[in-house]
Amino acid sequence: MRKLSIRTPLLLAAFIAGAGWSAAATPLGDAVVIHAKEVIVRPGEVLEDVDVLVIDGVIRRVEAGIEVPEGARELSGAVVCAGMIDPWSVLGLQSTETTFTSPSPATRSADSFDPFGQEFQKKQALESGVTSVRVQAARRALVSGLSSVMSLAPTSDEDLVVQSEVALGASIGLTNPSSGGSTFTRGSDGSFAVIETGPTPMDPFERISQVDKIASLLDTGLSYRIAQNEHIHDLAEWNEAIAEKVKELEKDFKKAKKDRDKEIEEAKEKGKEFKEERYKEDKAPKAPKFDADKEIFARVANGETPLVIEVHRVAEIRNLLEATADFGRLRMVIAGGTEAAAFADELAERNIPVIVNPLTHGAGAFDEFDGHDPTLAGILAEAGVDVLIGTGGHATGATRDLSLMAALAAGGGMEEDDAFAAITSVPARIFNLTDRGTIEFGKQADLLILDGQPLSTTTTVKAVLVGGRVVVEPKE
């Protein structure tokens, strides 16, 4: 009887979304209640004076006056919002992998993530409110391999990798195969910055030819997938034919056996070798040889895995849009897109999101584009493009400053809610991180407790929860 009384609310909680909870405040696992003046449920949607209930790492309720379960931890703050996601980072990657220029498409960035390295940078990023990062190794390679989403506060190796094959990375116009290169320096605190060893000017036509290479790789992937599908089809046909032949043979089995025995006898008499009858159905269709790299491009061309392609200049973007127009299922995401404003309408129409990096490079900086226009994110968003904001994938320490980058985009003309969405809900949606990015029932409790609005310079992150665990403790 006693047991039952404990179990009943559990079942209720599971079936009616926690509505049966208030009846019996029984501890059912690790519970946290956050009392907030303001909860940013999702960008642009704010609930005032409500509580957030987290049980076993999952958001269970967001409403006023939640009864605090026994044994639950209570926290409070002015503003509660979802943990930020840096959709374009190198935080945690081993330095050599960042600058590596010849990975294979099937390389996974998660495998170059050092779970023990860059402790200080990871801590700083977490303390500034970033809970997950999409890391891309080998940014400057034509094909950079698969990017992975990592947790900055894992409890084990298992939840360190949120998704290991989240997108395929590629770049146009960044690597000159014939000259130049890059090295890195390490600061006193262990951070490192990539130093490009001088501009490696690339012929414009050479850059365009990289677009053609990407298109041909997609085509190869598509052919590979078609060959695979054809094989499946052929195999089915073959199985059918075999079955039919077997049926046919079984039907006249006795006569056939007799005929065969007779033929064997005759052959013996004549001193000849008996030849078994061959059926064309004997030969099974051959499967295409497995190729890990082609398999990745097959997935990309087929829209199963998005393609995140870093491209900056007008001519390259134009050519890329033309070259990929026929790949109807391709899910392309542009990274960088310094001069993408000219294509805002087309990008919106074709549902191509852009990861903007509002870093303020000067004209003399390594990337050889004449600076980044702070208005880019706003122009794209206004045209209806899904805009994500990332720290650009070349400095491990940059992820700490993600919210300032979003603020800069807002200052450049983007709506502040859109800029916040660009580092929370939009990256979650574009990269299928269905359990994070907003504060909703059933999502993982990656939450920030702030003393002001998330994009303000003067706002302090008071506490951070990842999967319901308090990973940055409130001070004082």
Binding site for other proteins (CB under 8 A): 124, 187-189, 191, 193, 359-365, 371-372, 374, 391, 395-398, 400-401, 404-405, 407-408, 410-413, 416, 419, 455-458
Query: How many angstroms separate the CA atoms of 174 and 371, rounded?
Result: 15
Instruction: Please identify, using beta-carbon distances, which residue of 104 and 185 lies nearer to other proteins.
Output: 185
Place of tokens 């299928």: 432
Instruction: Please identify, using beta-carbon distances, which residue of 61 and 400 lies nearer to other proteins.
Output: 400
> Nearest approach, Cβ of 337 to other proteins (angstroms)?
17
Q: Residues 195-202: contacts with CB within 8 Å, 24+ apart?
A: 195/366, 196/366, 196/367, 199/366, 199/368, 200/175, 200/176, 201/176, 201/368, 202/173, 202/175, 202/176
> Nearest approach, Cβ of 152 to other proteins (angstroms)?
16
> Nearest approach, Cβ of 195 to other proteins (angstroms)?
13
Instruction: Please identify, using beta-carbon distances, which residue of 76 and 456 lies nearer to other proteins.
Output: 456
> Nearest approach, Cβ of 462 to other proteins (angstroms)?
14
Instruction: Please identify, using beta-carbon distances, which residue of 324 and 403 lies nearer to other proteins.
Output: 403
Strand partners, 98: none
> Nearest approach, Cβ of 411 to other proteins (angstroms)?
5
> Nearest approach, Cβ of 391 to other proteins (angstroms)?
7
Provide DSSP, 340-360: GGGGHHHHHHTT--EEE----
> Nearest approach, Cβ of 387 to other proteins (angstroms)?
15
Name the helix (H) or strand (E) containing 135: strand 130-135
Instruction: Please identify, using beta-carbon distances, which residue of 139 and 299 lies nearer to other proteins.
Output: 139
Instruction: Please identify, using beta-carbon distances, which residue of 83 and 454 lies nearer to other proteins.
Output: 454
> Nearest approach, Cβ of 388 to other proteins (angstroms)?
16
Instruction: Please identify, using beta-carbon distances, which residue of 51 and 367 lies nearer to other proteins.
Output: 367
| DSSP label of 392 | -
Tokens of residue 453, six digits: 């609005």
Strands in 332-336's sheet, in edge-to-edge order, are 84-89, 130-135, 143-151, 161-171, 307-311, 332-336, 354-356, 387-389
> What Å distances lie between residue 351 and 204, 361, 381, 473, CA to CA?
27, 28, 12, 40
Query: How many angstroms separate the CA atoms of 357 and 88, rounded?
Result: 9
Instruction: Please identify, using beta-carbon distances, which residue of 164 and 456 lies nearer to other proteins.
Output: 456
195 conformational bin, left if phi > 0, alpha if psi -120 to 50, beta if neither: beta
Task: Give yes or no for a contact between 389 and 402, defined as CB atoms under 8 angstroms apart.
Answer: yes
> Nearest approach, Cβ of 315 to other proteins (angstroms)?
21
Instruction: Please identify, using beta-carbon distances, which residue of 25 and 404 lies nearer to other proteins.
Output: 404
Q: How many CA atoms lie within 13 A of 209 on its CB side?
A: 8
> Nearest approach, Cβ of 189 to other proteins (angstroms)?
5
Q: For residue 181, what are the contacts with CB-CB under 8 A and spacing of at least 6?
A: 99, 101, 196, 197, 200
Go through 375-386 and write b for each residue having 16 or more CB atoms within 10 A of its CB, e for each that does not. bbbbbbbbbebb
Query: How many angstroms separate the CA atoms of 389 and 422, rounded?
Result: 5
> Nearest approach, Cβ of 87 to other proteins (angstroms)?
16
Q: How many CA atoms lie within 13 A of 335 on its CB side?
A: 31
Query: How many angstroms separate the CA atoms of 255 and 396, rounded?
Result: 78
Instruction: Please identify, using beta-carbon distances, which residue of 159 and 368 lies nearer to other proteins.
Output: 368
Of 193, 217, 207, residue with least CA distance to 99: 193
